[in-house]
Amino acid sequence: MLNIVHMKVNGKEVELAVDERESLLDTLRSRLGLTSVKKGCEVGECGACTVLVNGEAIDSCIYLTMWADGKSVMTVEGLKGPNGELSPIQKAFIEEAAVQCGFCTPGLIMSAVEIVGTGKKYNREELKKLISGHLCRCTGYENILNAMERIVEEVYRTSHPEEA
């Protein structure tokens, strides 16, 4: 059975007729062409498909598109600036050499967006726990954690100048 879904994807209103069993991952990749959303495990274990729904990081492979009705969805494509510039989080990942093959990177970046959005300051151990749902086979996580520590610290310093 098809359902009409209205959602905002990367700031743009979208209306689609979707099968009630269709995952948000398949909708984003196959129907909307947002290929930053990677198809990995398809059971919510690897984090490669992580996107934000109303600001919360979710595994889009186990999230039905119809659940996104009336909500806002953001993928890595939605992070670029008006002139195509990278977000500060993306820049931190590049500058800290946190990107190797790149398969896990979009999901990790979206989790970083959620983490940074809290405005809280996290230590390395807390960040390890927060990204524990992501699998990376290339980096050993150290540079990813370096990038996340750096951007969390930068945003915290900016939002809490009295503590700097």
- Of 107, 89, 100, 93, whose CA–CA distance to 25 is shortest? 107
- Which pTM value belongs to this model? 0.94
Tokens at 121, concatenated = 């300051």
C-alpha span between 22 and 84 (Å, rounded): 30
103-138 per-position pLDDT tens digit: 999 999 999 999 999 999 999 999 999 999 999 988
Domains of the chain in start order, with CATH, are 2-78 (3.10.20.30), 88-159 (1.10.150.120)
